[in-house]
Structure 1
């Protein structure tokens, strides 16, 4: 061994501040919710992951990384993943991803996001969300947190003025002729005589459709092949009917919602669809067909809709119109779990 090899090496010097390794980003908290659950069980409704991002002032690169958000949404593989970021004055930024794409509006993930914030901040009873494409959304606490669940009212945009105008112009016969045959080919057991009405509307940048069926159709058991609906549109396809068995002064409706064009064959429960259905039933000529017990001299803002979505998971909500033409949806969201995201790329 040479003399140089036997010398004790000098002790390592601490790195200068400029050479110090950067700290990895902190783990990102997430919360798992079932939103718009049925009254009888928390194991229903639509699943959503709510990811709480740091404020922009924290300089976490993930807050502005849309590719990261899309990857995490694919990993969760829920119908929607909501990304919530605190802003100034107690407001929040809110965006939504399916496993395939970012979407313009998601009601059930908005409900889940509001429930998450209310649970973390019990002193709050009102939230304002700023969104990318759907304007400002609001949420109000309607009950205390009980068994990890909470009743919340959210306010969502309904059909646009252009969409409502097209319905008032009664172009539904053209839409029915174009869409109903494709829908019937994608289903089993019903015919043209059971299609009451078809209308088109725009959801985000995608044309979508509402298909109203006769009350006696067994919508829960109706077999639908979602991929065969793609020729109708790559947007949302809302199938609905009035419930003939209800006897209260409220309007009772059923629905199912399909979105194969956005990566969701059948959505378990869809808040945005029911915001559109609220306007469909109360702000178009369809209102003239409502049972007399429901109208009873009321204006459109005086009618309450009890809605059930008849997917395999099932869900429920109560819908009304406010005086500004927006839909108020009241539903229950239950936190099923929570954790941290530890992958940073």
Structure 2
């Protein structure tokens, strides 16, 4: 099976978020795809298959479970399709039949994702202690994504967080992850964020595009604007631009292919 490793949301190798992109020649069952994703070990492995013309099916697996929607693995998959075909526009259809139109824009890739609402929520003290957060500015919950959003005041504090992941998992159940965000302290970016998801994936996702389905709208309401430059302050770091347009969010980013090979099935 043709397989690629791609670093997403960066123009540098060994930065951004690595994803595996697999192009099966035959139908694979869910158990096999999960085993492959677990073997590779990246936060996400994508399996894509051409349906017709420039339309592709796409499925995402973390090392632990199937994920309905993933931004960085969609970007990685788009990079491979654009590099190996003459297409300038493609469309992915995920396991929930959500259509994801993608366009090549120079050296960058523009993805269209749906927008999901957030609601008020409570965050237990055990969670904030596990994260190492001293003070919360705001807290929300994305029911569609099953992700808790916590806003704090300081981007430097965000970058310096060193969560106790055992305590974090034990602090809450029934969610996929916790996103911590702060307004940027530099002119180059509007907000910073980090995503921790030991419940359903790895301890920390280096750069997360899928959370923009609710994070861009959140910051749009907080900052009263619709276009953003976002910075993920993980150890690998990563950047993207987003724009909120009605019930859609456009995510613009770059990707670098670092490996091309074959997975022996």
Quick check: 1:104–1:203 contact (8 Å CA) kept in 2?
no
Match of 1:265 in 2: 203
Q: What's 1:12 paired with?
A: none
- Gaps in structure 1 of 5+ consecutive residues: 1-27, 55-59, 144-149
- Structure 2 residue 163 is matched with structure 1 residue 224: yes
Which protein has the bigger strand share? 2
Give the length in aligned residue pairs: 263
Task: Give the secondary structure class of the aligned counterpart of 1:72.
Answer: helix
Alignment of 1:1-345 (within 5 A): 28-37=1-10, 41-54=12-25, 60=26, 63-121=27-85, 123-133=86-96, 135-143=98-106, 150-159=107-116, 163-164=117-118, 167=119, 172=120, 175=121, 178-188=122-132, 190-191=133-134, 194-204=135-145, 207-215=146-154, 217-230=156-169, 231-233=171-173, 234-246=175-187, 252-282=190-220, 287=221, 289-290=222-223, 295=224, 300=225, 303-323=226-246, 325-343=247-265
Per the alignment, in what secondary structure is the counterpart of residue 82 of structure 1?
Answer: strand
Partner of 1:244, secondary structure, is coil
Q: Whose Rg is larger?
A: 1
In structure 1, distance between residues paired with 2:184 and 2:41: 32
Alpha-carbon deviation of 1:331?
0.7
* TM-score, normalisation: structure 2: 0.93
- SS of the residue 2:80 aligns to: helix
Q: CA RMSD in A?
A: 1.8
Q: Between Structure 1 and Structure 2, which shows a larger proportion of helix residues?
A: 1
User: Any idea what SS the aligned residue of 1:241 has?
Assistant: strand
TM-superposed CA distance for 1:217, in Å, is 4.9
- CA offset digits 1:325-344 (Å, max 9, x no partner): 1111111110001101222x
**1:231-267 residue CA offsets vs partner (Å, 9 max, x unmatched):** 3343121100111332x7xx61000001011131111
